[in-house]
A and B are shown apart, each in its own frame.
Chain A
Amino acid sequence: MKTEQLIATLAAQLQPAPPARTPGTATLLWTAAAWLCGLALVAYGLGLRPDLSTALVSPSVIGLVLGPALLAAACARACLILAVPGRRLPWLATGPVWVLGFAVAVSIASLLPSSWGHLASGADWHGGRCGLLLTVCAVLPAALLMRSVQRRAPVRPFACGVLAGIAAGAIGWTVVSLHCPSLNAMHLLLYHALPVGLPIAVSGYAAHRWLRW
């Protein structure tokens, strides 16, 4: 078929195509859906941490819940912006990702020296459960975000996948923070922060493999 014919055919078959939701709106919808799933899971499945009402006045607990939640929203927005051809990530989209990531890393690192003994004593033998829960909690948010990206036209699928993985992992981290009462830095690093790497790796690979169009 010659290009002229193709153009005639495409024009003849044209159907109205309402513009996709803006990245901002899509981020809001995704965040609401991910939070709903996470809260439902923690409320009806895992159970809220017993000291939640008192712990939520502590700045470190608020930070552990809100930090990853904001990181998730920032990454989801960056991911959805990147899924539109020709869009560049503005500083406002990438800034929160770096700032929050850095803040979380610094706060955990500052608590590390006092945590070695706790971990070495075997008090955290159940920590793997937190890692597993985080990974499970990240599955649905990751799938929702990847689906949303797939409907767009990502010209950098791998980067979109990595950002979707961070967003989904951070949602899992938030959910686990509402469930797990530990404030031990080593526990937080090993079982709340490091497991985020799994959704990142899986999403990045899946996006590289299947988000081509």
Chain B
Amino acid sequence: MVANLSKEAESPEQERDASFSLAMLAAQNGDSEAYRSLLQVLRGLAMGYSRRFLTRMGKFDAATQEDVVQEILMAVHAKRHTYDVQQPFLPWFFAIARYKLIDHGRRERRQPLRVTLDAVDDYLAAPTAEEPGTAQDLELLLARLPDKARRALTLVKLDGLSVAEAAASTGMSESAIKVSIHRTLKSLRQRLRRTEAP
């Protein structure tokens, strides 16, 4: 079934590629453990690749790198059905990684103001007496979010509840809460970029 496994591996690289193919095949069939291990390895590959890419662009910093690596892993997750086990795995993975890095570079050129994921927390910090407009801005931002996303973000990031407590309060799973917050922060970051870009 896995074409690049049926032939005897000719080099350690091919052997390694074949093991990735097997893991992705298992992931396509719903094997979480194999998938987790594969993502861990891909994370390392994505870190190295993005470091070289960002350094060449003169845009390397650890926060950006982690951000891009997460985007790559999410793209691998979303497009895992496009991997064909008859084909080598690494060209598929690096094509996705390269696409996401180029996409990141293009966004950077269009919107030079960069707000890292951690910095979004600063934007969402509770308003102080010296910043009368911030509370209204925050309310405006939150009002545009879908109900579930707003509740998850408000409970964990503003009210200080743990993920487990927020999950119990909303009836969502802990995983759903985490993913929702991650996506919401990402979309808020993009909105803030658009708003603040000259």
Q: B-contacting residues of A (Cβ < 8 Å)?
A: 1-3, 5-20, 22, 83-87, 152-153, 155, 212-213
B84 near A10 with CB under 8 A, answer no
A10 near B178 with CB under 8 A, answer no
B35 near A19 with CB under 8 A, answer no
B82 near A85 with CB under 8 A, answer yes
B81 near A155 with CB under 8 A, answer no
Q: What's the Cα separation between A16 and B28 when bound, in Å?
A: 5
A213 near B75 with CB under 8 A, answer yes
> Given that A1-B178, A1-B182 are known contacts, is A10 also in contact with B39, CB under 8 Å in the complex?
yes
**Which residues on the A side are within 8 Å of B116 (C-beta)?**
none
18 sample A-B contacts, Cβ–Cβ < 8 Å, listed by A number: A1-B181, A6-B73, A7-B36, A10-B77, A11-B36, A15-B30, A16-B30, A17-B27, A17-B80, A17-B81, A19-B28, A19-B82, A22-B84, A84-B82, A85-B96, A86-B90, A152-B82, A155-B96
**Which residues on the A side are within 8 Å of B80 (C-beta)?**
17
Find A12's partner among B27, B31, B32 (CB 8 Å cutoff): B32
Find A153's partner among B28, B73, B79 (CB 8 Å cutoff): B79
Find B93's partner among A2, A18, A86 (CB 8 Å cutoff): A86
**Which residues on the A side are within 8 Å of B69 (C-beta)?**
3
B87 near A17 with CB under 8 A, answer no
**Which residues on the A side are within 8 Å of B39 (C-beta)?**
7, 10-11
Main secondary structure of the interface of B (DSSP, over half): helix
**Which residues on the A side are within 8 Å of B30 (C-beta)?**
14-16
**Which residues on the B side are within 8 Å of A8 (C-beta)?**
36
Number of interface residues of B (CB under 8 A): 47
Find A9's partner among B29, B43, B86, B178 (CB 8 Å cutoff): B178
B165 sits at the interface (CB 8 A): no
Main secondary structure of the interface of A (DSSP, over half): loop
Distance (whole angstroms) from the CB of B50 to the closest CB of chain A? 11
Q: What's the Cα separation between A212 and B75 when bound, in Å?
A: 12
Distance (whole angstroms) from the CB of B54 to the closest CB of chain A? 16
Q: Count the A-B residue pairs with Cβ separation under 8 angstroms: how many?
A: 106
Q: What's the Cα separation between A1 and B69 when bound, in Å?
A: 12
Find B94's partner among A7, A20, A86 (CB 8 Å cutoff): A86
**Which residues on the B side are within 8 Å of A213 (C-beta)?**
75, 78-79
Q: What's the Cα separation between A155 and B99 when bound, in Å?
A: 6
Distance (whole angstroms) from the CB of A212 to the closest CB of chain B? 7
Distance (whole angstroms) from the CB of B75 to the closest CB of chain A? 7
Distance (whole angstroms) from the CB of A88 to the closest CB of chain B? 8
Q: What's the Cα separation between A17 and B31 when bound, in Å?
A: 11
B94 near A17 with CB under 8 A, answer no
**Which residues on the B side are within 8 Å of A15 (C-beta)?**
30
B179 near A7 with CB under 8 A, answer no
